[in-house]
Amino acid sequence: MEIRNRLNLANVGSDYIHAAGRKLENMHDHLLELESKGEVKVMHINSENRAKDALTLFGWKKLIPTNKIWHHKSCGQCGNIPGYPVSLLWLMNQFGLEYIDERNQTSCTAWNYHGSATSNPVGLASVAARNWHRAYELGYFPVNHCATTFGDYKEMRNLLVENKELRDEVKRIMHKIGRDLVIPEYIIHYSEWVHVMRFEIAKIKKYDLGHVTVTVHPACHTYKMIPEDCIYDKDIYAGKRTAVSTGVALALGAKVADYSTWYDCCGFGFRHILTERETSRSFVMDRKIKPMVREANSDVCLTQDTGCTTTLDKNQWIGKAMGYTEQVPVMADVMFAALVCGADPYKIVQLQWHTTDWRPLCEKIGIDWKKSEEGYNAYLEELKAGGKPQNLYEYK
């Protein structure tokens, strides 16, 4: 099949044989086959990564590295929900794990692609390969903070395995920037790290959560994009839903409550959150927050992605104008885990950036947020007076 894209910049074709459709192929096996033929380089998980096993949708084993992590940050988290990555790094510090967070990383560009279509598979795959190679040359394994990065990189990995001509085009571009195409053995989302570490995390928790009701919003790009490469567990919703986020909430001792629209997206829409916000707002209140509160009496909504956290948190206030009285604080699973393990609500979990009131949740858990607020305000004054920031790691 000879296929040429309209820009004539890539000559992309497929020589891949499908037995039962793309979704039933185990790309990990095919990736290793290509490696054995010398067709691609593979970034393997090694003993220093201290990997833990998990099972995916069809029961295939996936190795999740827990150490020597290269943090692939998220545009929206770093820009708008800074407590999201900070909580993850803080938890890694609690376990003395090695990681790198650095400036030499670009966006995956996939939020932009799904919002505006101003890219193409060659562009997306090359950006992925660029960031993978950066992690590879440092000897650390990439862990993606954003669910859209996770979904996009899983898709790009699959397309690169399936299409020699795409591989060749990406290799050409990589060579042009002094890099090489090296595909990670597994594409990892941070929520998978949290999931396999959940029992370790639970050992250091500081509060009892027996009276706290959690609802989970699974992110579409975690489990709907390349669904076969997402963690499932027969002990969590009988293996019928992705296990991440729910798993850590249960391990921490919270009650996880079901609600009828758990499968719905958050209303982010990639484009809509910026350019058709009335859609996002209506979706948030009608399809997510209202059911979470009315059906589950939820104390907190746990998320596993950037866009979902923003959309579900920021759009509750305006709901009041349309008579919606339901409100529930929103935070990522890793922020909740850090909070319950004693992380400072202001300095670490950075809840002050959220717009839906999270203070009643802290009070229910037994966290003194007022003391934390005082400490944070004093810290801001120190910084204003020229004080040095207290960082989680030293930037080299």
Partner 1 sequence: MEYDEKGVSIVPLDFKKEIFKEARKDFRYDEYVLGCLNCGVCTGGCPPHRFFDFSPRIVLQNLKTKDPELIWTMMDEYIWACFQCFTCAMICPFLNNPGGAIAILREIAVRRGFESARKVLKPYSRVLLKLTAYGNQLSPDMIQPDFFPDWGPDISYASADLKVKRKAIPMPTLQITNLSWDVSPEAMKELYEIFDESGVFKIIEAVDPSLYEIIMDIVEDVRSS
Q: How far is CA 129 from CA 13, 168, 182, 189, 222, in A?
A: 19, 12, 7, 16, 20
Q: Which two tokens stand for residue 46?
A: 């090694």
144 membership: H or E segment, kind and range: strand 141-144
For partner 1 (CB under 8 A), the number of binding residues is 107
CB of 380 to partner 1, least distance (A): 5
Query: What's the closest the beta carbon of residue 351 comes to partner 1, in angstroms?
Result: 11
Q: Residue 81 or 209: which CB sits closer to partner 1?
A: 81
In sequence order, the 6+-apart residues with CB closer than 8 A to the CB of 127 are 106, 107, 108, 109
Nearest distance from residue 270's CB to partner 1, in Å? Answer: 5
Under rule CB under 8 A, residue 223 binds partner 1: yes
Dmax (CA) of the chain: 66
Q: Least distance from C-beta 244 to partner 1, angstroms?
A: 16
Instruction: Confirm or reject binding of residue 130 to partner 1 (CB under 8 A).
Output: yes
Site for partner 1 in 156-175 (CB under 8 A): 159, 163, 165-166, 172-173
| Interacting residues with partner 1 between 22 and 41 (CB under 8 A) | 22-23
Nearer to partner 1 by C-beta: 325 or 390?
390
Cβ proximity to partner 1: between 103 and 240 the closer is 103
> Closest CB to partner 1 among 179 and 198?
179
274 binds partner 1 (CB under 8 A): yes
Q: Does 151 bind partner 1 (CB under 8 A)?
A: yes
Please report how close the Cβ of residue 122 comes to partner 1 at its closest, in angstroms.
Answer: 4
Which 177-196 positions form the footprint of partner 1 (CB under 8 A)? 177, 179
Cβ distance 44 to 73 under 8 Å? no
**Distance in Å, CB of 253 to partner 1, minimum:** 27
List 45, 60, 94, 101, residue binding partner 1 (CB under 8 A)? 101
Residue 240: half-sphere exposure toward Cβ, Cα within 13 Å:
5
Does 1 bind partner 1 (CB under 8 A)? Our answer is: yes
Q: Residue 246: how many CB atoms within 10 A of its CB?
A: 26
Q: What's the rounded Cα separation, in Å, for the pair 338 and 347?
A: 12
- List C-alpha distances in Å: 383 to 105, 114, 174, 356, 375: 27, 39, 42, 27, 12
Q: Which is nearer to partner 1, 21 or 38 (CB)?
A: 21
- Interface positions, 39-98, toward partner 1 (CB under 8 A): 73-80, 82, 85-86, 89-90
- Nearest distance from C-beta of residue 48 to partner 1, angstroms: 23
> Should residue 347 be labelled a site residue for partner 1 when binding is judged by CB under 8 A?
yes
Rounded to the nearest whole angstrom, what is the least distance from the CB of residue 338 to partner 1 in the complex? 12
- Which residues, 6+ apart, have CB-to-CB distance to 322 below 8 Å? 285
Told to check if 384 binds partner 1 by CB under 8 A, we report yes
Q: Give which of 202, 142, 188 is closest to 338, Cα–Cα.
A: 202
Could you say whether residue 395 binds partner 1 (CB under 8 A)?
yes
Q: What is the DSSP string of 208-260?
A: --TT-EEEE---HHHHTSSGGGSBB-TTSGGGTSB-TTHHHHHHTTPEE---T
The residues that bridge with 53 in the sheet, in sequence order, are 63
Q: Which is nearer to partner 1, 245 or 310 (CB)?
A: 310
Does 102 engage in binding with partner 1 (CB under 8 A)? yes
Whole-angstrom distance, CA of residue 146 vs CA of residue 231: 16
Task: Tell the smallest beta-carbon distance from residue 94 to partner 1 (Å).
Answer: 14
User: Which helix (H) or strand (E) element contains residue 110?
Assistant: helix 110-116
Q: Counting contacts by CB under 8 A, is residue 267 touching partner 1?
A: yes
